[in-house]
Amino acid sequence: MTSLADRMSRFLRADVQGMHGYAVQPSAGMVKVDTMENPFQLPQHLRAELGARLADVALNRYPAERGDVLRAELARHAQMPDGNNIMLGNGSDELISLLTLAADVPGNVVLAPLPGFVMYEMSAKLQGLKFVGVPTTADFQLDGPAMLAAIREHQPALVWLAFPNNPTASLWDDDVIEAIIEASPGLVVMDEAYQPFASRDSLDRLKRHDHVLLMRTMSKFGLAGVRIGYLIGRNAVIAEIDKLRPPFNISVLNCEAALFALEHADEYAHQAEIIRAERTRITTALSALPGLTPFPSEANMVLVRVPDAARVFAGMKARKVLIKNVSGLHPLLANCLRITVGTPEENTQMLAALTAALNDLNQEAQA
């Protein structure tokens, strides 16, 4: 009899069997500041309104026209320029997969700065495309000469530029971005997942360059659990990518929740304002702690270098505070931790746990 292991070995891709899946840390009972979520729920009266509205959704029907309404409302919210169209994804992850699938031509290359969002590389490799990662500078800015050299050498079909970047929270230099766009022979995707917390965006680039796409998500807006991403680009480009989108990829519940959120965008803008203020408080507090180096942030997270990332992470986890140890993702991230900006109360708990974990290190060093 053929064993299951033999069946898997024969019929499942060897590269898939050899890879690691996207890991999500267990967080029950923890102060959860590890995944860049908006920490705020809607006020109780708005939650009640949303619940009543979702109760009337026709769950027995496939999603239809309401998806078109959501596309129109997102286009208005994003101030989509004329001559462009918008496409919905089940989160940005699906859009990344579909863009990579569309670019799956033999010999094509996908290029992005590193460290960066892991799904760019993972999606490329799953499609059998070559991925080229170009290291940033030591302070996590784009290495312009290296990026341009890689573009000349590899002629990439897709260039990913996260703006701000994950996990570094950096905003790239505008002149360097412009040079990369001008030099790129294929599509350049500006991934603006963290746009609600940034001081600049790429809307003007979308207007000026017909090979630039703008990708955003409602996850950081405040709907991480709803899974709505959207892609804006020239009509001709979106028409081709949209052919790959699974029918009815946005559920009726997700669609209605997103429409409700856009109707109350002022509430989410207020939440983003609090998050930006708390980001400043966290960065100031981290700067005052000896041995720590926080990096400038334009997102809802702060990257900080500590004396020993693994032990500080463990010390904070022992105190029921969950952050992200990113030190193993890239050599430039050595001893770096990524901290999501939480509520004011969560941030106070996080800073107390961090201080205590650092004190543990100091005491051990003196023993």
Nearest to 152 by CA among 106, 184, 110: 184
Q: How far apart are CA 352 and CA 342, in angstroms?
A: 14
Domain 53-263 classification at class level: alpha beta
pLDDT tens profile 297-344: 999 999 999 999 999 999 999 999 999 999 999 999 999 999 999 999
- According to the model, what pLDDT value does residue 27 have? 78
Q: How far apart are CA 78 and CA 91, in angstroms?
A: 16
- According to the model, what pLDDT value does residue 167 have? 96
Alpha helices in 155-247 (DSSP H): 174-183, 203-208, 235-242
To 10 degrees, what angle do helices 309-318 and 344-366 make? 120
pLDDT tens profile 207-237: 999 999 999 999 988 899 999 999 999 999 9
Q: How far apart are CA 189 and CA 156, in angstroms?
A: 12
- pLDDT band, very low/low/confident/very high, at 16 (cuts 50, 70, 90): confident
**Would the CATH topology of 24-42+266-366 be identical to that of 53-263?**
no
Q: How far apart are CA 114 and CA 2, in angstroms?
A: 43
Percentage of residues of the chain with pLDDT beyond 70? 99
In the chain, where the domains are located: 24-42+266-366, 53-263
Model confidence at 7: pLDDT above 90: no
Model confidence at 2: pLDDT above 90: no
* CB 110, CB 120: distance < 8 Å: yes
Percentage of residues of the chain with pLDDT beyond 90? 86
Model confidence at 106: pLDDT above 80: yes
- According to the model, what pLDDT value does residue 17 have? 83
347: tokens are 């941030």
- The topology (CATH level 3) of 24-42+266-366 is Aspartate Aminotransferase, domain 1 (3.90.1150)
Three-state DSSP state, 26: coil
- What residues form DSSP beta bridges with 232? 86, 214
- According to the model, what pLDDT value does residue 175 have? 97
Alpha helices in 103-185 (DSSP H): 118-126, 144-154, 174-183
